[in-house]
């Protein structure tokens, strides 16, 4: 079992803001389509790098891991999308302190990567920070 440690909330604020600024810079340099392509590629590598037991359906493994990290996850699947709403124990104190113009949740790449392991053409269509977490919608193309 992994050792649990205390994490400074300032560090979590930094991670959120760093991700948002990185993605904003990519959009400025590469344009929206180029930045989205980089996000998809990075997300796949992130999931592969973290590894672990992602079960037969990788999204199930990510949901299990998030729950193991103390998060509550609601999942809804439709024909062409997968929606996850993640309640994070840090969100209420971290999200109000974010300074990035368009803040991002660091979990979005991880979740997108897991979905893309099963549905290669999947893309992130919604990433909305909430008071208590994040709501993500990943679109799955018809041919997958």
DSSP 33-94: HHHHHHHHHHHHHHHHHH-S---SSHHHHHHHHHHHTT-EEEEEEETTEEEEEEE-TTHHHH
Q: Examine the pLDDT at 119 and tell me if it is beyond 90.
A: no
Beta strands in 6-144 (DSSP E): 72-78, 81-87, 123-130, 133-139
User: Domains in the chain, please, with CATH?
Assistant: 9-139 (3.30.1380)
Q: What percentage of the chain has pLDDT greater than the value 70?
A: 92
- pLDDT tens for 30-71 read 998 998 888 888 887 777 766 555 556 778 888 998 998 899
């Amino acid at each position: 079992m992994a050792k649990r440690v205390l994490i400074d909330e300032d560090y979590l604020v930094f991670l959120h803001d760093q991700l948002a600024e990185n993605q904003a810079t990519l959009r400025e340099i590469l344009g929206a389509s180029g930045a989205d392509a980089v996000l998809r590629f990075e997300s796949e590598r992130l999931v592969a790098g973290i590894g672990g037991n992602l079960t037969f359906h990788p999204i199930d493994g990510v949901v299990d891991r998030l729950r193991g990290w103390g998060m509550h996850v609601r999942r809804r699947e439709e024909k062409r999308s997968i929606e996850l709403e993640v309640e994070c124990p840090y969100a209420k104190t971290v999200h109000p302190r974010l300074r990035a113009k368009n803040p991002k949740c660091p979990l979005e790449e991880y979740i997108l990567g897991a979905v893309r392991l099963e549905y290669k053409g999947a893309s992130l269509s919604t990433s909305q920070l909430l008071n208590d977490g994040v709501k993500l919608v990943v679109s799955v193309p018809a041919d997958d």
